[in-house]
Amino acid sequence: MSAPAVPSGEIVYEAAGLTKEYDDGRVAALRGVDLTIGQGEFVSIVGPSGCGKTTLLNMLGLLDRPSSGKLHFRGRDLSGIGDPAAYRAREIGFIFQSFHLLPNFTVEENVQMPMFGLPGSPRERRARAVELLEAVGLGHRLDHLPVKLSGGERQRAAIARSLANRPAILLADEPTGNLDSKNSAHVMDILLRLREEHRVTLVMVTHDQELARHGTRIVRIKDGQIVSAS
């Protein structure tokens, strides 16, 4: 089933007939996905394990490419982008279930990582990292290594890092999957607040139906196809 058209506003992503096959076509992760996402939306993508949720998210971030179909970002065909890393650095912030903080760098240094290679002095990078860490309640943890943080604190640090390059899009893959209910609620509150403050489009994959309901739309996927979107 095709996702409904987005209400008025700029279209950020437009997917048409996306498929993804593995193992020489014997495994179909996506089977003709049509999806439109508008600027400022919060789209929750839900479905059982192995249904294609993360595959779709990875395509939006150019971590993976479709086997067929079209995917446009602000009208530009993503298949024609020759430097995916530059696209990600300019436009995308990632939040992963497993945090992916570098263990030998402090929390502040981890948040600075996406800013390297972008305009800005070391002083500006540090000021940005401190600002974001204070925004997620980690201003007192700047010099700590990730191993010294709790799971909830590590995910909050990962959220701060995802915003470091001032992205237009946040892609979150099970951002509360490794957290208990209390920390999950706290992390979700932070995401909602920062989404409003930074005016970003948020696309979140989750198994948690309660978290999914925070989205402006819920897209349900089963067996590689969108079965409902509202």
Question: pLDDT tens for residues 106-130?
Answer: 999 999 999 987 888 999 999 999 9
When pLDDT is cut at 50, 70 and 90, the band that residue 229 belongs to is confident
The per-residue pLDDT for 9 is 67
The per-residue pLDDT for 26 is 79
CB-based contact 45:53 (threshold 8 Å): yes
* CATH architecture type of domain 41-54+84-229: 3-Layer(aba) Sandwich (3.40)
Q: What is the mean pLDDT of residues 159-180?
A: 93
The per-residue pLDDT for 81 is 87
When pLDDT is cut at 50, 70 and 90, the band that residue 3 belongs to is very low
Q: Residue 206 contacts by C-beta under 8 Å, 6 or more apart in sequence?
A: 44, 45, 46, 172, 174, 175, 176, 177, 212
Q: Is the pLDDT of residue 1 over 70?
A: no
pTM of the model: 0.90
* Amino acid making up residue 72: H
From the number of C-beta atoms within 10 Å of its C-beta (0-12, 13-18, 19+), residue 107 rates as: buried
Q: What are 78's two structure tokens?
A: 């993503």
Q: Residue 194 contacts by C-beta under 8 Å, 6 or more apart in sequence?
A: 135, 136, 159, 163, 200
Strand partners, 204: 44, 172
| CA proximity to 202, closest of 7, 1, 12, 16 | 12
CB atoms under 10 Å from CB of 37, counted, come to 23
pLDDT digits (tens, 9 = 90+) for 14-73: 999 999 998 877 789 999 999 999 999 999 999 988 899 999 999 999 999 999 999 999
pLDDT averaged over every residue in the chain: 91
Task: Quote the distance between the C-alpha of residue 54 and its chain's center.
Answer: 10
- Residue that wins the pLDDT comparison between 76 and 5: 76
The per-residue pLDDT for 208 is 87
Q: Residue ranges per domain, the chain?
A: 41-54+84-229
When pLDDT is cut at 50, 70 and 90, the band that residue 152 belongs to is very high
Q: Is the pLDDT of residue 105 over 60?
A: yes
Q: What is the Cα–Cα distance from 41 to 31, expressed in whole angstroms? A: 24
Q: What is the Cα–Cα distance from 197 to 227, expressed in whole angstroms? A: 32
Percent residues over pLDDT 90 in the chain? 75
